[in-house]
Structure 1
Amino acid sequence: MIFSLLAICLWVVAAFIMQSIPSNDQHWRRAYVLIGVGVPLLIWVTWYSGPLMGALGLVVGAMVLRWPLLFLLRWMRRQIGL
């Protein structure tokens, strides 16, 4: 249980370290890597620590990756025609 929560904390630290390094593509490649690593971590946290900690991990991930989430929501709104 504690290892899954520690892994999420390390993911957040890695995200902030990645964010502080300059990038030519406005950090999109790093965001894709963080999403690819974050989804299995979120499943791991939910499986071992319960749905409440999984929801908390989802909120933390959404706060860290707010721009990709915002662009996804805008794209979804365009697809349904709102």
Structure 2
Amino acid sequence: MSLTITEECIYCDICRPACPNSAISAGDEFYVINPNLCTECVGHYDEPQCQQVCPVECIPLLPELAESKEKLWEKYTLITGSVVS
């Protein structure tokens, strides 16, 4: 998972309900993303929904943390119990 929430987060709670995998939760100072639950919306949407709804654009993709689409699909199937053909 290459998404992260930066300290620019204003704690508005718009991203949390937008996440189809419930990967976003409240941290001490800003929201955090659980890397075990984040699929970057693979399996649900074409683009990460947290990025789409964030009013301050504080959820960048970090290339150095990128996972392959195959790995994201694998995580999606484990989380949802779906079978991808």
From the CA coordinates, give the structure whose radius of gyration is larger. 1
Taking structure 1 as the reference length, what is the TM-score of the superposition?
0.32
In terms of fraction of residues, the more helix-rich structure is 1
In terms of fraction of residues, the more strand-rich structure is 2
Taking structure 2 as the reference length, what is the TM-score of the superposition?
0.31
